[in-house]
Amino acid sequence: MARGSLPMTTGPLPFIHPPCECEKKLRFMVKLAEETDGIIVSNDQFRDLAEESAKWMAIIRERLLPFTFVGNLFMVPDDPLGRNGPTLDEFLKKPVRAQGSSKAQHSARGFTEHSSQQQGRKEEEKGSGGIRKTRETERLRRQLLEVFWGQDHKVDFILQREPYCRDINQLSEALLSLNF
């Protein structure tokens, strides 16, 4: 979905579409976000596509907005890039581009500061292996549900919001600080 406009593209449902069809649609979503400077509203972590190019990895890392349903309510996090990241409003603002430049220049001061803070964390995350694999996420989910039993939605939300975090203590802290 392009920031600042209403058009929206829906994603594939893996249990309805064959796997190769899902991958094509996920590629389309990332490519569309790249071309329109848009965001991707999805709970898919795009693990396979994140490794294809540095540009796509940056798009997936910086423009992926996870969501959850609580009852009949569609909810997105107030801080889509984590506790020290931009607010949801700053995240959804379309960056201002300099003439002739293909690099986004963010108008929101907090977002710019967050980007430079994130750079150090990104290098750290690359060294630790990048996005968690599915098995590791499932293991962390089981461990978190042992402590936070009955809070499946919150656990899933945190695991989707923090796809690089492997530390059970940091994930637990994020769960405790959630307000919904």
Q: For 47-71, what is each residue's pLDDT tens digit?
A: 778 788 888 888 888 888 888 887 7
Q: Token pair for residue 63?
A: 């423009």
Strand partners, 151: none
Which residue has better confidence, 116 or 166?
Answer: 166
In this predicted model, what pLDDT tens digit does every residue of 82-131 receive, in sequence order? 888 888 888 887 664 443 334 443 333 344 444 444 444 444 444 456 78
pTM above 0.75?
no
In this predicted model, what pLDDT tens digit does every residue of 143-161 receive, in sequence order? 999 988 888 889 998 998 8
Pick the CATH number of 1-130 from 3.40.50, 3.40.1350, 3.90.930, 3.30.70: 3.40.50
Distances (CA, A) of 34 to 58, 59, 68, 138, 168: 10, 7, 24, 30, 33
Q: Token pair for residue 18?
A: 């064959």
Segment among 72-86, 92-106, 131-145, 165-179 with least mean pLDDT: 92-106
